[in-house]
């Protein structure tokens, strides 16, 4: 996995988790849902890169 793509995936995952928890803490379902979406996007980016690595190796 390229270092920059791995960093992007971790950043999206972390930002999504934070946003999700903040939304839940303040009772804002929209913010929590956006956070979940960002976290999922980061998860998918990471999975895509791991798949690329598996095909290369």
Q: How confident is the model at residue 55 (pLDDT cuts 50, 70, 90)?
A: confident
The span from the CA of 18 to the CA of 42, in Å, is 13
pLDDT band of residue 3 (cuts 50, 70, 90) is confident
In percent, how much of the chain has pLDDT > 90?
72
Task: Note the pLDDT of residue 38.
Answer: 96
pTM: 0.83
pLDDT > 90? residue 31? yes
């Amino acid at each position: 996995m390229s270092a920059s793509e791995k960093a992007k995936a971790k950043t999206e995952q972390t930002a999504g988790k934070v946003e999700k928890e903040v939304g839940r803490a303040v009772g804002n379902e929209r913010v929590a849902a956006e956070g979940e979406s960002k976290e999922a996007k980061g998860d998918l980016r990471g999975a895509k890169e791991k798949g690329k690595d598996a095909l290369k190796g």
